[in-house]
Structure 1
Amino acid sequence: MKRRNETRKKKFMEAAYDGNLQEMKFIIGDFEKELDGMEEKLDSGKRKQALLNLIDCKDSNNNSALSEASAGGSPEVCKFLLSNNADPNSKGAFGRTPLWRAAFAGHLNCVQILLENGGDPRMYSQDGQRVIDAATKDNVIDILKNWNIQLTERMLQQIDKSRREIKQEQINGLEERKKMAKLEYEQLKSKYEHVKNELYSCNCELQRLNDEYLLNPDMYGPLIDKKEAEKVVLISQSEDLREKSVKSRIFYKDLLSEIRKEKNKIKNETEESDDEGNDDSDNDNLDDNKIMKINIKEMDDLVLRDITNCVRTADKWPIIIDQNDQASTFLRYRDTNYVNCLDMKSMEKNKFRLALLGSIRYGKPFVLDLMQYDQELLESIKSVCDQIDDKLFEDMCSKELVKNEKYARLIRLESDGKEYEAHNFNQNRINNFKILFLTSNPYPSDKLLNLTFPIKVITRVKDDDFF
C-alpha cells in the first residue's frame, strides 16, 4: 500500500510539472476506484480528505503538485488543482510558494490564475525575497504591483472555510464511527464479563466436586466429567470474547487518537482544541498513557530485581496485566512465593499467612495470581486476610506491613518454628520483599486499579497507516 501510494504521488507530481492534465485526471480516477474497492468503506468526509491529500501531495523537497505546475507553466493544471481545493500558498523548497515560482519563471497566465485563487504576493521565501522581487518579466511585475490585496484576503477566507468544511466532515464521520465502536466495545466487554463469571463459578464447583470425589467416586465421577466439558466450552467462549473485545478497544482508541489529531489540525492546536480533546475520553481508568509497559524479557530486571526502583519507590504494589499468561508462567518458576488465588487449598488462611510471612522473611516476591477473575478473587484475598488480622489487607496494599515490624503480628511461634522468630528477620532481605498482583483480565476492576499501579506486558507494537 505504501509503495503504491509513493508511486502514485510521483506520477502525479511529474504530470503536474509536465502539464499533463489528462494523466492527472486518470490518476485521480484510479485512486477513487481504489477507495471504492476498499474492504472498509470510507465515509464521505474521509474520502474527500483522502482525495485532498493527493491533490496537495508533495515531493521530497516539500514542493506541492500546484507548485510544480506553476514552475512548469501550465495554467490549465493550476486551474484544475485550485478548483479541487489545492493550497495556493504551500511552501516548498527554500520557502518558495507556487506564486513565487511562477513569477520567477515568468509564467504570466499562471501568476494571474494563482492571484485570482488566493495566491498571496506578500509571502517571502527563506532568503527574504518577496514574490515581486523574484519576478523576472515586466508584465508579471506590473500585475503584481497593481493587484488588489483585498481580493486575496477574501479568497483566503473562502479557501480556509472550504478546507475546514472538508476537515469537519471527516471529523463528523470519525465521531459517528467512534460512537459505534464504543457501543460494540461495551457490548463485547459485557458478554466477556458474563462468561468470565460463569467460568469462575464452574471452577469453584469443580474444586468442590474434586474434593468430594473420594467419598463417592461413582456419583461424583460423571458430574466432574460433565463439568470439565462445560469448562472447556466456557474457556473457548471466554478467550474468543476477550480477543474480540481487546481488538475493539484498540480500534476505538485509534479513532480517538485520529479525531484528536484532526481537531488539532483544524484548530491549529489552540487551547480550545485541547479542551475538546479531553471530552473524547472513554472514562477508562486503564489509560494507556499512564501505564508502565514492559515486554516479558524485561520482567526480571524491571520488576523482580527492580533495577529502576520503580516498584520500591511507588506508594502501591504493582498489578501486572498480561492477557497472554506469560508473566504467570515466568513468575511461577522463579524464586517467588506464588499463590493461585483460585485454588482453595492455597487460600487456606494458615497456608496464605505462611506464604506471605516467608516472602518477608526471605525477601521474596509474594505473587497473587488473580488470573482473569480479579474482581471476585480480590474479595477472596480480603476475606482470607480478615480471618488472619483485621488490618492485614489494608497494610498489605499500602506497603505498611513491612514498616515498624508490623509483620510481626503474623508470627505464630507455637506452630511456625524458630526460623520465624523475630530476630531472624533481616532488614536487607525485607527490602527485597514485594507483592505482585497478577491478572490476565485486560480490563481490571476499578477497585484493583485504585489499590495498585498498573504494569502491562506487551508483545508487539501496532502501527496503522491512514490515508
Structure 2
Amino acid sequence: MPPKKTATASSTTTTKKTASSTTGAKKASTAGTKKASTKGGASSSKAAAAKAPAYTPEQHAAATTIQRFARGFVTRRRIKKQKERAAKQAEEMESLRAQAYLAEVAYQRKQEEKRRKEAEAERKMRKEESRIKKAMLEAAFDDEVDEVEKLIGQAAELFGPKPTKKVFGGKPCYDVEDANGNTPLSEAAAAGAEGTVKLLLSLGADPNSKGEFGRTPLFRACFMGKQNVLQALLDGGGDPRVANTGGERPEHIASTAAIKDVITGWDTSVTDSILRDIEQSRNEAEAQERFEAQKAVKSATQAVETAQVEYDSAQKNMRKSHEELEKRIYEYDTVVGERKPQSLCEAALGAVKDAEATNDAAKKRLATAREAMQEAKLAYRTAREEESEEQEEVGQRIELQELDDVIIRDVGNKLGGSGALVIDTSGQASVFFRYADTNYVNACSRKDIEPNRLRRSLLGAIRYGKPCIIDTMGVDLWDEICNALEGVQPNLVKQVLNGEITKPDNYMRLVRKEDGEEYDPNKFQDARIKSFRSVVLTTTRQPETAMVESGLKTFRINIRNR
C-alpha cells in the first residue's frame, strides 16, 4: 500500500508540473503574441481589413431590395400626407366657399332691395316734386290761395319743413321755377292774383326773381297791366330799377299811364329799406338754419363717435378671440401629438369648440358694429347735406384660382414690383396662402406680429423668394401693421409697399448676428429675391381708406357658386 501512495503523490506532482509548464507556455505564447501585435501596429490592422471578405452578389441584391422598399415606403407616406393635406385644404375651402356664396347672395339681395327702395323713393319724390311744382304755379296764376297753402303743407310733409338740395333746386316750394325760370310769384303777378301775391311775399318769396328774358314779377305785372298788384309788389320789395335782358325797366313797358305813374312816383329809398330788412331777415333765418344744422351735425358726430367706440371694442374682442382660438388649437395639437390620455384630448377638443363659438360670436358682433358705423356715417353725411353715394367696391376682380398666377408668380407683371392687397370676403384666400409655400403672418396674433418674429418672416420671405402674407382676419389693423413694421426698422413700411426692400442695402439691414450663416449676404440670390411678394389680406368688404390708398395693388376675389 505505501508504494501506491508514493506513486500517487509522484503522479500528482508530475501532473502539477505539467500544468504549470503548460500555463507558462501559454503565458509565453500570449506575451509573444502581444509583442508581435505591438510591433505589427497599423500594418496588421490593414492586413486584416484587406483580408475581410467582400459582400456577395446575393448580399448586394438584398441590400438594394431593402433600400428600394424603404424608399418606396417613405415616398408612399409622403404622398399620402400630401393627399391628406390637399384633401383637408379642399374641404376647408369648399366649406368657406359655400358659406361665402350664401353670404354674398344675401348681401347682394339686401343691396338690391336697398337700391330698389331708394330708386322707388326717388321716383316717387320726383313725381311728387313735379306735381307740386306744376300745381303751385297753376294755383298761383289762378289766385287759389287755399290751394297754394295746401300744397305748401304737402311739400313740408313729403320733403321736410326746410328746403334741401334734393328737391326744388334747394329752394322753398313757394319759390320753385318753371322751365323758363318763372316763379309762382311771377305767375301770380302776371295774372293779377293779389291774394296769392301777398301770401307768397309774406312767406319770403323773392320779389325780384328773374324769369324768362330776365323779367321780374313787377316787370310782368306792369307789362300785363295788372295795376291791382303793383302796390303789394312794391311794398314787398319789388325794385322798379331792375331791367330785363334787353335793358328795359318796368316804367318803359307799362301798359297804361296810370301804371307808369305808380312806378315813376315810387320812392326807391323805401325799396332799399325794405330790401335791407328782407336781407336781414334772410340772414337771421340762415343763421338759425346753420345753428340747427350744426346741432344736427354735432349729434351725428357723437353718434359716429359712439359707434366708433363700439367698433373698436368689437375689433379688440375679435382679435382676442382669434388669439384664444389659436392657443386652444395649439394645446389640442400638443396633447394629441404627445399621445396624452383620451380624457385630456377630449377636454382640449372641447376647449377648441368653445373658442370657435366665442370667435363666431365675436365675428357677428364685429359685423353688427361695422354696419352700425356705416349707418352712423350715413346719418352724418345726411346731416351735412352731403351726397351719400353707395361706396364702389375697389379692386381688380380675379378668380380664386388665379391667386397663384397673379400673386405668387406675378404672371403678366400685374404687381410691377409693388405689394398687393387681396380682398376676399369668403376667407378662401387665407386658406390658400396658409397651405401654399408662403411666410404667413396672422396680424391678430401678437406672437406673429412681434417685431423680431415679423422681421424673420419678412427676411425669410426675401431670402427664399416667397410671398410674405399678412392676414388681418377681417379686423382693421392697418395702423398696427404699420407700427409693427416701423418697430422692426424705420421707413420699413414704405420700402415694403414700393418694393425697395428687395434692394441689398435695405434687406441686409434686417439681418442680425443671431440669424447665423443662413443669412450671410452670399446666401441671397437675385433669382429668388425676384419672387418675393408682400401681400396684405383682408376679409372686409370695404377695407380701411388708409389701406386702400397705401399704394398696394388691390385685387378682389370673385365669389362663385362652384
Normalised by the size of structure 2, how large is the TM-score? Answer: 0.58
Q: In 2, are the aligned partners of 1:206 and 1:224 still within 8 Å (CA)?
A: yes
- From 9, 12, 15, the equivalent of 2:136 is 12
1:317-466 alignment, distance < 5 Å: 325-326=424-425, 339=440, 341-342=442-443, 350-356=456-462, 368-370=470-472, 371-374=474-477, 377-378=480-481, 381-382=484-485, 386=488, 395-396=495-496, 400-403=500-503, 406-407=506-507, 421-424=524-527, 440=540, 452=550
Post-superposition shift, 1:23? 2.0
Q: 2-side partners of 1:184 and 1:141: how far apart?
A: 60
Match of 1:200?
319
Unmatched 5+ stretches in structure 1: 36-41, 262-287, 459-467
Q: 1-side partners of 2:378 and 2:421: how far apart?
A: 19
Match of 1:217?
345
- From 173, 183, 191, the equivalent of 2:302 is 183
Q: 1-side partners of 2:185 and 2:555: how far apart?
A: 48
Q: In 1, are the aligned partners of 2:425 and 2:541 still within 8 Å (CA)?
A: no
Q: Secondary structure at the match of 2:172?
A: helix
Post-superposition shift, 1:257? 4.3
Q: In 2, are the aligned partners of 1:296 and 1:327 still within 8 Å (CA)?
A: no
Q: 2-side partners of 1:174 and 1:457: how far apart?
A: 40
Opposite residue 175 of structure 1, the aligned amino acid is Q
Q: How many pairs are equivalent?
A: 398
1:245 matched to 2:373? The reply is: yes
1:160-206 alpha-carbon deviations (Å, 9 max, x no partner): 22222332222222111111111111111111211211221111111
1:140 matched to 2:259? The reply is: yes
Post-superposition shift, 1:239? 0.7
Post-superposition shift, 1:67? 0.7
Closer, same or farther: CA 318–121 of 1 in aligned 2, 3 Å: farther
- From 359, 362, 369, the equivalent of 1:231 is 359
Bigger mean CA deviation after superposition, 396-405 or 115-124: 396-405
Match of 2:145?
21
Higher Cα Rg, which structure:
2
Q: Secondary structure at the match of 2:471?
A: strand
Post-superposition shift, 1:256? 2.8
Match of 2:284?
165
Closer, same or farther: CA 226–84 of 1 in aligned 2, 3 Å: same
Match of 2:101?
none
* Higher helix residue share: 2
Match of 1:85?
204
Unmatched 5+ stretches in structure 2: 1-124, 336-343, 400-405, 557-562
Match of 1:38?
none
Post-superposition shift, 1:254? 3.2
Q: 2-side partners of 1:103 and 1:336: how far apart?
A: 87
Q: In 2, are the aligned partners of 1:45 and 1:167 still within 8 Å (CA)?
A: no
Opposite residue 341 of structure 1, the aligned amino acid is N
Post-superposition shift, 1:19? 2.0
Opposite residue 218 of structure 1, the aligned amino acid is E
Q: 1-side partners of 2:378 and 2:420: how far apart?
A: 21
Post-superposition shift, 1:346? 7.5
Q: Secondary structure at the match of 1:86?
A: coil
1:72 matched to 2:171? The reply is: no
Opposite residue 135 of structure 2, the aligned amino acid is K
1:24-48 alpha-carbon deviations (Å, 9 max, x no partner): 223224444556xxxxxx67898xx
Opposite residue 139 of structure 1, the aligned amino acid is A
1:189-234 alpha-carbon deviations (Å, 9 max, x no partner): 1112112112211111110110120314223111111111112222
1:270-285 alignment, distance < 5 Å: none
- From 116, 136, 147, the equivalent of 2:235 is 116
Post-superposition shift, 1:433? 6.3
Closer, same or farther: CA 368–137 of 1 in aligned 2, 3 Å: farther
Q: In 1, are the aligned partners of 2:497 and 2:534 still within 8 Å (CA)?
A: no
Q: In 2, are the aligned partners of 1:45 and 1:171 still within 8 Å (CA)?
A: no
Post-superposition shift, 1:391? 7.4
Opposite residue 136 of structure 1, the aligned amino acid is S
Closer, same or farther: CA 451–133 of 1 in aligned 2, 3 Å: closer
Q: 1-side partners of 2:266 and 2:194: how far apart?
A: 19
Q: In 1, are the aligned partners of 2:190 and 2:217 still within 8 Å (CA)?
A: yes
Opposite residue 28 of structure 1, the aligned amino acid is I
Q: 2-side partners of 1:439 and 1:405: how far apart?
A: 34
Opposite residue 485 of structure 2, the aligned amino acid is K
Q: 2-side partners of 1:16 and 1:295: how far apart?
A: 50
Q: In 2, are the aligned partners of 1:374 and 1:441 still within 8 Å (CA)?
A: no
Q: Secondary structure at the match of 1:368?
A: strand
Q: In 2, are the aligned partners of 1:132 and 1:141 still within 8 Å (CA)?
A: yes
Q: In 1, are the aligned partners of 2:463 and 2:519 still within 8 Å (CA)?
A: no
Closer, same or farther: CA 420–312 of 1 in aligned 2, 3 Å: same
Bigger mean CA deviation after superposition, 90-99 or 168-177: 168-177
- From 86, 100, 125, the equivalent of 2:219 is 100
Q: In 2, are the aligned partners of 1:413 and 1:421 still within 8 Å (CA)?
A: no
Q: 2-side partners of 1:450 and 1:296: how far apart?
A: 9
Normalised by the size of structure 1, how large is the TM-score? Answer: 0.69
Q: In 1, are the aligned partners of 2:201 and 2:207 still within 8 Å (CA)?
A: yes
Q: 1-side partners of 2:220 and 2:396: how far apart?
A: 55
Q: Secondary structure at the match of 2:384?
A: helix
Q: In 2, are the aligned partners of 1:182 and 1:252 still within 8 Å (CA)?
A: yes
1:130 matched to 2:249? The reply is: yes
Q: 1-side partners of 2:324 and 2:483: how far apart?
A: 16
Q: 2-side partners of 1:402 and 1:409: how far apart?
A: 11
